[in-house]
Chain A
Amino acid sequence: MNLFSRPVGIAVAATLLASASAFAQSEMKGEVNVYTYREPGLVKPLFDAFTKETGIKVNVISASSGLEQRIKTEGANSPADVLLTTDISRLEAAVQNGITAPLNSKVIDEVVPSAFRDPEGHWAAVGMRARVIYASKERVKQTAITYDELADPKWKGKICIRSGQHMYNNALFAAMIAKRGEAKAEEWLRGVKANLAQKPSGGDRETARDIAAGKCDVGIGNTYYWALMNDKEADRKPWADATRVILPTFEGGGTHVNVSGVALIKTAPNKQNATKFIEWMVGPTAQQLHADSTYEYPMRAGVPINKTIASYGELKRDPLPLSQIAANRKKAAELVDKVGFDQ
């Protein structure tokens, strides 16, 4: 008898303890509740700085998917105040799920360029990243490249990329659809697919890994991954050393960019603190911290770009509005299926 009842007793006690701690969290004052898709470790320095400056405690829940759905289902009682996320598609998804409220903030309107916030004020960007080319130092001589060119048979068997359904690629393909139309974009994507050295897998770092290993010559990756490998990850430094970053452009356009941004939740129980938090995120302190920890391009004018990122050269952003990218995201996903990109 003892053998079994002791663990049960412990577990029952644990349940009680666990639910007690859950209740303790239900009432909050002087706090702001942030639901985020960003990695906790990456944004923690920011939250700590915010608390230090304002005395407002930041409670966090981070996840990799489903937060919009959670907030929507939690409904009127949801503790969510702010959604902090990467990728325009998620910001737009939050708006479409009807969980956001207009920011109505002069500070945001002044600091964030109009291309980087929702016309109705439902979201604002706090940082920007670009989807660029990692090229083998040894085997690729050219220093400029276009996205369009990746479909050229001269790259046959030489391109590495992560899954076409990953949102970073999805956004790039959506941009291609928005710029060239579906038929042209399909032709392009088939061309890229035909040039792949291997089935899409891994992440952007693995793309650099495979270039370093000689499996391919060029790959597509985000600006900050290369910088992280180069500056902070000793194990992967050789992958950065074997490659260099080229800022590609669309033919007759600029470099494809995406954002990380914030949205105010409609049912936010701490609306004032939430607004304060959002405005603080585009302030000089936060923008500097953000640029340093995330290796993203800052939104606020006058905040210096991280050195490694700046070493890629001057970024000429493609003028396509972000909303157009979000609008074509479903089509891009279907195109990836249609051409069997991931197979």
Chain B
Amino acid sequence: MLDKSGPAPRGAVRFFRATHLPGVLAAALVALPFLSLTQLALHGDPDLWPHLARFVLPTALVQTTLLLAGVGALTAIAGAGSAWLITTFEFPGRAVLLWLLPLPMAIPTYIAAYIYADLIGSPVHTLAGAILIFSAVLYPYVYLAARAMFQTHFVVFTDAARALGAPPWRLLRDITVPMARPALAVGIVLAMLETLNDIGASEYLGVPTLTLSIFTTWLNRGSLGGAAQIAVALLAVVVGLIAIERYGRRGQVVLPTQDTRTADRIVLSRGSAWLCAAACGLPALLGFVIPAAYLLNQVIRRGLLARFDAELLTHALNTIAISAAATALILLIAVAAVMPTRSGHHPLLRMSLAVASFGYAVPGTVLALGLLSPLVAFDETANWLLRQIGMPHVGLLLAGSTAGLVIAYCVRFLTVGIGFVQSGLMRVPSDMDEMAQMLGARRFALFRSIHLPMMRPALWGAALLIFVDCLKELPATLLLRPLNVETLSTYIYQYATRGNFEEGALAALLIVSAGILPVLRLVHLAETAPRAHRRSAPLTAPAFSASQP
């Protein structure tokens, strides 16, 4: 430790401390693939740009913007709307919907696209179709953020307003929406980034997005450099999105946790109650019930259980092991990187955390391509070192290994971990730290007995999102996985590429089931926490962007 003088006074600025190391290393890890991408981009062929600018990028930009705007708007309406209704009112089926509403996040977008194309046919092969399908499975990102926010933040205000006779719509307009804006912004940006990352669904539905143009430039126009250039440009779009999210979070109110209570829900008249149930039921129906029922039906009709492929079990265990490993590693890195922001200003750390959140920005395949070179470079260095000390040649260690895959997931999803830890930490009142330190608690004791327990819901929220994202991850997994290793995603994909994805229905259901358990755990935590530990910050609203100290 460089810093032996004990806790520095709050507000002191020192550019680098030893405690910054995890954050800086996390940033380096994420920066590596981008650096190798940038290097590729520099070798791009400049003749391509006039062509791209004239014929490809305008359409791609317009389509991407429309798609993002549509998905943003629809996920906001569906996610925030259902979260508000379910928090504010009592209606039939509410208990079931509480569990159902987050579940669509376990359905990969491209699976949803195939299912709806099969059910409805060519009308879904449109921009509107794509917006609907993406929104149906991505709204839970907004829902989860909004629900946690609604549940705990407004009771004081809504109680007062209701006592003064304000009708529900005024509660919504004057209290709920303004106060929920930060959480909504976070959820919407996550949903948009997921959209931006997709390739399978946009290609199948015929929406020529920017992400897709990276692919056609690389594979058809034969220019990996050009593809890397578009990818780098796309990064700018993402930085823009993150800036919007930061703007959306301005003036975020952090309420003292003592006041978190669950409001009594308003009991509605019969007609309104059913309307309410229908409004909440629709997103869950489209995003989860129909796709899951479709998959189940395929499993039964095709007798997939009867000719159960024993290898599928291995694939499932592989997938869960890799995803769990990546989730744990991300949370460890995120906690280690974010904790030092607790006291004082740390410009270097702020910057590092911002860089570490770019992993969500590029499509998985591009990220994987960028990651290959650093992994191989590491392996070659290791081999060189071993040779120097007379040890035998070991070949590739990280590249094409499960460890390489875990690293890729870390780069990709570190953002989520960092965001959740930041927002979790923000809700621990700083007077608690001061009190504990006055009573002589050392930093680690403070972390272990106060910060960690109070952040637990946020950590669980992060674990859920990361784990489910890892389960679903396809493009990077396809390119980086070792010989003979399949994950559930890649297993389904082999049928999907043959246009026969129904044969992978069982594997898709396994992804859904593996995703359901953590979702249920999270819902359980969120629903019971407010009553159980009133003082212990049951907040799970994910803050996504980095660098919010």
User: Is B86 part of the binding interface, using a Cβ–Cβ cutoff of 8 Å?
Assistant: no
Say whether, besides A11-B328, A330-B221, A337-B51, A42 and B498 are in contact (CB < 8 Å): yes
Chain A interfacial residues counted at CB < 8 A: 73
Q: Which of chain B's residues has its CB closest to A160's CB? A: B122
CB-CB < 8 A to B401: which residues of A? 19, 22-23
Min Cβ gap B501→A in Å is 11
CB-CB < 8 A to A73: which residues of B? 372-373, 376, 399
Min Cβ gap A162→B in Å is 9
User: Is B84 part of the binding interface, using a Cβ–Cβ cutoff of 8 Å?
Assistant: no
Interface class of chain A by DSSP = helix
Q: Which of chain A's residues has its CB closest to B301's CB? A: A235
* Cβ contact of A18, chosen from B206, B325, B394, B503, cutoff 8 A: B325
User: Is B222 part of the binding interface, using a Cβ–Cβ cutoff of 8 Å?
Assistant: yes
Interface residues of B in 480-501 (CB under 8 A from A): 481-486, 490, 493-495, 497-500
* Cβ contact of A165, chosen from B220, B365, B497, cutoff 8 A: B220
User: Is A210 part of the binding interface, using a Cβ–Cβ cutoff of 8 Å?
Assistant: yes
A67 to B365 alpha-carbon distance, docked (Å): 11
CB-CB < 8 A to A302: which residues of B? none
Tell me whether B481 and A61 are in contact (CB under 8 A): yes
Tell me whether A7 and B395 are in contact (CB under 8 A): no
Tell me whether B220 and A77 are in contact (CB under 8 A): no
User: Is A340 part of the binding interface, using a Cβ–Cβ cutoff of 8 Å?
Assistant: yes
Q: Which of chain B's residues has its CB closest to A213's CB? A: B121
Tell me whether A167 and B220 are in contact (CB under 8 A): yes
Among the 9-residue stretches A105-113, A185-193, A196-204, A280-288, the one with 4 or more Cβ atoms under 8 Å from chain B is: A196-204
A169 to B222 alpha-carbon distance, docked (Å): 15
Interface residues of B in 181-210 (CB under 8 A from A): 203-206, 208
Min Cβ gap B78→A in Å is 25
CB-CB < 8 A to B117: which residues of A? 202, 206
Q: Which of chain A's residues has its CB closest to B504's CB? A: A41
A-B contact pairs, 20 of them (CB 8 A): A3-B456, A23-B397, A39-B494, A41-B495, A63-B479, A64-B478, A64-B493, A65-B479, A66-B368, A69-B224, A79-B395, A167-B219, A198-B122, A209-B121, A330-B220, A330-B221, A333-B222, A336-B220, A340-B59, A342-B206
Q: What residues make up the interface of A, taking CB atoms closer than 8 Å to B? A: 1, 3-4, 7-8, 10-12, 14-15, 17-19, 21-23, 25-26, 33, 39-42, 59-67, 69-70, 73-75, 77-79, 93, 163, 165, 167, 170, 198-206, 209-210, 213, 215, 225, 228, 233, 235, 329-330, 332-334, 336-338, 340, 342-343
Q: What residues make up the interface of B, taking CB atoms closer than 8 Å to A? A: 51, 55-56, 59, 117, 121-122, 125-126, 203-206, 208, 215-216, 218-222, 224, 318, 320-322, 324-325, 327-329, 331-332, 365, 368-369, 372-373, 376, 379-380, 383, 394-397, 399-403, 406, 448, 452-453, 456, 459, 463, 478-479, 481-486, 490, 493-495, 497-500, 502-503
The 10 closest A-B pairs by CB, nearest first: A201-B206, A11-B328, A333-B220, A22-B401, A15-B325, A337-B55, A201-B125, A14-B321, A18-B402, A59-B483
